[in-house]
Amino acid sequence: MRGSVPLSQASGLRPSRVVLLLVVVAALVAGLLLSHSARAGAAADPLVSRGKPAASSSVETSAFGPEKAFDGDPATRWASEEGRDPQWLRVDLGATARISRVKLSWEAAYAKAYRLEISADGAAWTTLAQETAGNGGTDEWTSLSGTGRYLRMYGTARGTAYGYSLYEAEVYGTLDGGTPPTGAFSVVAAGDIAAQCTASDSGCAHPKTAALARQINPKFYLTMGDNQYDDARLADFRAYYDKTWGTFKAKTRPTPGNHETYDPAGPLAGYKAYFGALAYPQGKSYYSYDEGNWHFIALDSNSFDQKAQIDWLKADLAANTRTCIAAYWHHPLFSSGGHGNDPVSKPVWKILYGAKADLVLNGHDHHYERFAPQDPDGRAAADGITEIVGGMGGADPYPIENVRPNSQKRISGGYGVVKLDFNDAGFSWSYIGVDGKAKDTSPAYGCH
């Protein structure tokens, strides 16, 4: 029988060298175990980005929106417009997170150079990781160490002649400061919509904005007045608006504009007959409702001089239990367009500002414009209200005439819709043209 051979004899090594070898092997094994443990710990961190509100610098078309990169579906994707650097994709994690790992699954249009950046407020960014020689496929960044609420991929050089496109962007880590938002939803908004034309007229815009709005398929739709031109008679609603925006009327939360008051049958007669309880859910031309952590207030700016609506607004705000507040009506207090600032809205702004409202949407001027947060006197204020003018739903565009203080972006001459993304703690939006491309993307705002 063959006996066992001591390791020293089998290897030809002296005992002292055997001991040294065993020490080295033990150290290597311990190192590997520690390394594996570190990687396993990072891998064990939960996925915190799926289904969260997303934004991007641009989209190729509305079918490739930023939310597609965070929906968990490997068959959908975000795609930027082609041929332009830089481009970015951002996700709002809903709460401060300690980020340990990011996984990017690129489509054929990949980034050759990009940065992963993190931010507490969506404005000031810190670099977490940087790629300078990317080759597509899957990029997995581990052992990251950063804290913030927002993460973005900031692409600086395309790997192809196309744009940037991601099937999935996955962010792993641990959330601080409570649970992430559970009430995320999207809304499409526009004002000044249905001119007296139909899809048979190639220059008719409201069929195109309706098709875009339908494709986005939000939780619901907001209209900021002048839904039907010119006199907003019931017959006109049926002949024009109903054929386009009317196809999703059941999901629409409308407000009237000045053109709804021109009806020969009486002010708002056609508007009320067409929309019915949608426009008068509380028996008045103004109303409110809740969605998630948001309180929405639809107002009739044709009657801001009537005490009944002002008293109702004060009582409605006093009874509100939601953290975030959005209001919408037709006539904007601030506008750089042809109608300009309309002081009729100032008393309402003062009431909303006192209630710490977050967002106001208006129409009337036929252009798109966004303002930085400001107070009712037009002074920039951290606790101010953010205003959007969105009168580009289909009526003839108006030019920009007098740029107002705090106006951050103005687009005139085209048509489109505002796609708003809400969550329990804040909001952001994009203005999307009828070509499906994002013409402007807002900062991310938190609720007051």
- Tell me: the pLDDT tens digits for 313-353? 999 999 999 999 999 999 999 999 999 999 999 999 999 99
212 Cβ contact list (under 8 Å, min separation 6) = 62, 416, 417, 432, 434, 436
Q: Tens of pLDDT along the chain (448 residues)?
A: 323 333 333 334 444 454 444 444 444 444 444 443 333 344 468 999 998 888 999 999 888 989 999 998 999 999 999 999 999 999 999 888 999 999 999 999 999 999 999 998 888 899 999 999 999 999 999 999 999 999 999 999 999 999 999 999 999 999 875 544 557 899 999 999 999 999 999 999 999 999 999 999 999 999 999 999 999 999 999 999 999 999 999 999 999 999 999 999 999 999 999 999 999 999 999 999 999 999 999 999 999 999 999 999 999 999 999 999 999 999 999 999 999 999 999 999 999 999 999 999 999 999 999 999 999 999 999 999 999 999 999 999 999 999 999 999 999 999 999 999 998 889 999 999 999 999 999 988 999 9
CATH number reported for the structural domain that contains residue 115 in this entry: 2.60.120.260
Q: Is residue 40 part of a domain?
A: no
323 Cβ contact list (under 8 Å, min separation 6) = 293, 424, 425, 447
Rounded CA-CA distance 176/246 in Å is 44
Q: Is residue 322 part of a domain?
A: yes
CA distances from 266 to 196, 285, 300, 434 (A): 20, 14, 16, 34
Residue indicated by tokens 């949608």: 278
Instruction: Say if residue 206 is in the same domain as residue 156.
Output: no
Instruction: Say if residue 157 is in the same domain as residue 211.
Output: no
Q: Which residues of 258-269 are buried (b: 16+ CB within 10 A; e: fewer)?
A: bbbbebeeebbb
Rounded CA-CA distance 34/31 in Å is 5
* Boundary of a domain, candidates 140, 175, 210: 175
Q: Tell me if 229 sits within 8 A of 258, measured CB to CB.
A: no
Instruction: Say if residue 135 is in the same domain as residue 268.
Output: no
Instruction: Say if residue 161 is in the same domain as residue 290.
Output: no
* Boundary of a domain, candidates 116, 147, 175: 175
State the burial class of residue 356 (Cβ atoms within 10 Å of its Cβ: 0-12, 13-18, 19+): middle
* Boundary of a domain, candidates 152, 175, 198: 175
Q: Is residue 8 part of a domain?
A: no
The pairing of beta strand 87-106 with beta strand 165-175: antiparallel
Rounded CA-CA distance 277/273 in Å is 9
Measure CA 358 to chain center: 15
CATH number reported for the structural domain that contains residue 268 in this entry: 3.60.21.10
What's the number of domains the chain is made of?
2
Q: Is residue 10 part of a domain?
A: no
Helix (H) or strand (E) holding 211: helix 206-216
E strands, 132-184, in order: 138-141, 146-158, 165-175
E strands, 1-145, in order: 54-56, 78-79, 87-106, 111-119, 126-131, 138-141
Q: Is residue 43 part of a domain?
A: no
Instruction: Say if residue 149 is in the same domain as residue 198.
Output: no
Instruction: Say if residue 65 is in the same domain as residue 211.
Output: no
Instruction: Say if residue 246 is in the same domain as residue 373.
Output: yes
Instruction: Say if residue 165 is in the same domain as residue 86.
Output: yes
Instruction: Say if residue 249 is in the same domain as residue 347.
Output: yes
Instruction: Say if residue 262 is in the same domain as residue 315.
Output: yes
Q: What number of CA atoms fall less than 13 Å from residue 37's CA on the CB side? A: 6
Domain span at residue 114? 54-175
